[in-house]
Amino acid sequence: MINPLPVLPSITDWKLADMRALCQRITGAVTPVTLAGHRLVVHDVHPHQLASGYTVRDHIHSFYEAHIVLDGAAMYTTGTPQPLIPGSALLHGPHSPHTWQTENETCLRLLFWFTLEPVVLPPADIKWPVWPDLLWETALLLRDVEAADPGWQQRATARIVLVLSRLLSLANWPDEGGFAEETEPTLVEMVEQFFHDNLTAPLGLEDIADHMGISIRSLCRQFQQLAGTTVMERLLTLRMERAAVLLTGNSEKLSVIAEQVGIPEQSYFCRCFRRYYHVSPKEYRKQMG
């Protein structure tokens, strides 16, 4: 008797919370690899669901961010607007601005944060492809991790590399290249890097948690445990440190410097600065003259 073929898994077989838990296991299991002469280090894999009528504001990362649209629909609005449907594949290089929005339905994405040395960048205005087979690859990955049969960690690494090598085909790979060792960043390091990348933006807790792929409550609790301060207090400290550098390095108006550190209201900026340095921005500039 011929054994029947196994039923192919569907990405909708998992609830979002279960998918998050499986992705956390994947993140912990994936090991660095050398891919086409490049050092590839995966820092985070997580699902992210955009609510209907939601806009992800223009932002950047210092690392690569790859996406696979798993369910629903969205509109990519950086450059030429492009509709995103299940199977849409996207790749953003370091410091590449990007944004999108949903209209009348939600959109579930799977995100990969990783570093690649040497860096290769995809074209600036690219037509994102639709690769439905990546939905199957993702479902197979989740099913394998959920079953936790012996060797699943190695298979998880292999499947992630398979998916990312497909996504990296959107970039122009050089013929030769070395690689550099990478270290796994902590939550605090990744949050602070996001701050540095977007210091001019008016960030809120929702924005930060959204891009870290965790809840606001988890973000605040874990960050304070690791850093000994709150998320927003650390962000304000970085803004003030940057403001102090700008005050001594140029003669821009205070309103301009306030905007450059993400605090567009000048009076609030001055109050914050005095709190940190015990002098007004004007007095600080005069003292550092």
* Average pLDDT over all residues of the chain: 86
pLDDT of residue 83: 94
pLDDT of residue 10: 80
Quote the CA–CA distance of 207 and 85 in Å, as a whole number.
23
pLDDT of residue 121: 82
Which of the following CATH numbers is that of domain 11-168: 1.10.3210.10, 3.20.20.70, 2.60.120.10, 3.30.1330.10? Answer: 2.60.120.10
Quote the CA–CA distance of 235 and 50 in Å, as a whole number.
25
Segments of 206-259 assigned E as strands: none
Query: In residues, how long is the chain?
Result: 289
pLDDT of residue 74: 95
The SS3 call for residue 55 is: strand
Quote the CA–CA distance of 154 and 161 in Å, as a whole number.
11
Q: What is the pLDDT of residues 79-129, one digit of tens each?
A: 889 999 999 999 999 988 999 899 889 999 999 999 988 888 888 778 999
Q: What is the pLDDT of residues 128-146, one digit of tens each?
A: 999 998 998 899 899 989 9
Q: Give the class (CATH, top level) of 187-288.
A: mainly alpha
pLDDT of residue 227: 84
48: enclosing H helix or E strand: strand 38-50
pLDDT category at 182 given cuts 50, 70, 90 is: very low
What is the rounded (10 degree) CA torsion for 248, 251, 253, 259? -50
**Token pair 């001055």 is at which residue?**
270
Quote the CA–CA distance of 263 and 257 in Å, as a whole number.
9
Looking at the chain, which residues constitute the CATH 2.60.120.10 domain(s)?
A: 11-168
- Bigger pLDDT: 248 or 261? 261
pLDDT category at 174 given cuts 50, 70, 90 is: low
Q: How many CA atoms lie within 13 A of 117 on its CB side?
A: 11
Average pLDDT over residues 193-207: 88
pLDDT of residue 118: 83
Average pLDDT over residues 10-35: 88
Looking at the chain, which residues constitute the CATH 1.10.10.60 domain(s)?
A: 187-288
Residue 255 has pLDDT above 50, yes or no: yes
pLDDT category at 236 given cuts 50, 70, 90 is: very high
pLDDT of residue 80: 87
